[in-house]
Amino acid sequence: MRHVRSFRDTVPKVLPGVLICVIIGLATTFISEHYGGPVMLYALLFGISIHFLYAEGGRAVAGVEFASRTILRLGVALLGTRITISQVAELGIGPIITVIVGVTLTILSGVALARVLGLQKDLGMLTGGSVAICGASAALALSAVMPRHENHERNTIMTVVSVTALSTAAMVIYPLFVSVLNMTDNQAGVFLGGTIHDVAQVVGAGYIISQETGDISTFVKLLRVAMLVPAVMCFMFVFSKQNKSAAGDKKVPLLPGFLVGFVVLVIINSLGLIPEAASASITTFSGWCLVTAIAGLGIKTSFQKLAEVGWKPIVLIVLETLILLVIVFAFIYMGGVGS
């Protein structure tokens, strides 16, 4: 009864803000589908444009907070329906090693570069993980287990905006590299899936070239998405002391609920227990959750705060992107991956 009463009390408080985030999601999805462009970037910009609703501290605040935290974690958990263990196994050992090394070295490079640029270690880890794994979705998932401080939301938004913009540019530019370098379909699939940040842009770039390239690039990209699990666990370990001190007397779970949900869904999907139609519907719903959450994050962020970030974090993300590019190139041309 206590949970039912709590639910009844919570819904009226969060409903106005959540509805605003959902409406932004609907509007930006329509624009993206009919006129092109990345829906998450649109949702961010739309959200930022009505930051005054959050700054005024009105009825929308509770719902915006709910969207940017609870709905976000639900969306990340549901990403598990995109992956099966057999898909990962079909790739062979070469692409798997490429992805593991690429993700690891990119995150470590992010930490080292952040130190060189005079930035915080947690920003280097967040941007490195976002570039290495799956762009905006990884940024949201990783930031959810990182300690909160005055610049936490600003860093997350900056990372999402930057990797989304770079991913969109890569979707156009990288297929030109494939053509100039005369890559095979297999090599092109490994290259595109291993380097482009967001899933949607990988799919777009891959199928521009061929059906086979599109299939391989999607599988390689989903393998990078699967790396979200060990990455989140490593982030939790690194920041465990800070998270415990921030939680005070509250117990800090060994694993966040959304991560457990992600793993469980991967296992269930691998066993073939989720019908194809249901899997497609869950994936679509996951996308809606993430767009809604990003709209909420946008509403919480002002242009003034973004302007305070400066040029160094942008340089950091660009360098991380180039490092990942070099690593994947090395595995393709020196290691024979995708041949």
Per-residue pLDDT of the chain (339 residues; tens, 9 = 90+): 555 556 577 788 899 999 999 999 999 999 988 988 778 778 878 988 898 888 887 888 999 989 887 887 788 788 778 777 776 676 678 888 899 999 999 999 999 999 999 998 889 999 999 999 988 778 888 888 888 777 788 888 888 888 877 887 887 789 888 889 899 888 899 999 999 987 767 877 887 788 788 878 877 887 888 888 888 888 888 887 665 555 444 444 445 577 678 788 888 988 988 888 898 899 889 889 888 988 887 888 766 666 666 788 889 999 999 999 999 999 988 877 666
Return the half-sphere exposure (C-beta side, CA atoms, 13 A cut-off) of residue 284.
Answer: 8
Return the half-sphere exposure (C-beta side, CA atoms, 13 A cut-off) of residue 300.
Answer: 26
Torsion (CA) 159, 160, 166, 172 in degrees, nearest 10? 170
CA-based end-to-end distance of the chain: 61
Whether residue 113 is contained in a domain is answered as yes
Whether residue 47 is contained in a domain is answered as yes
Whether residue 8 is contained in a domain is answered as no
Give yes or no for a contact between 154 and 305, defined as CB atoms under 8 angstroms apart: yes
Predicted local confidence at residue 247, as pLDDT: 46
Whether residue 280 is contained in a domain is answered as yes
**Domain region containing 37:** 14-301+313-333
Whether residue 6 is contained in a domain is answered as no
Predicted local confidence at residue 249, as pLDDT: 47
Predicted local confidence at residue 25, as pLDDT: 92
* Nearest residue to 159 (alpha-carbon basis) of 176, 141, 175, 139: 139
Tokens of 289: 């959750």
Whether residue 123 is contained in a domain is answered as yes
pTM for the predicted model, two decimal places: 0.69
Predicted local confidence at residue 338, as pLDDT: 60
* Nearest residue to 72 (alpha-carbon basis) of 161, 142, 151: 142
Dist. CA 331–CA 187, nearest whole Å = 10
Whether residue 238 is contained in a domain is answered as yes
Whether residue 254 is contained in a domain is answered as yes
Tokens of 244: 């415990």
Give yes or no for a contact between 32 and 38, defined as CB atoms under 8 angstroms apart: yes
Count of domains for the chain: 1
Give yes or no for a contact between 186 and 95, defined as CB atoms under 8 angstroms apart: no
**Angle 257-270/228-238 helices, nearest 10 degrees?**
160
For residue 84, the surrounding DSSP H or E stretch is none
Strand ranges for the chain from DSSP E: none
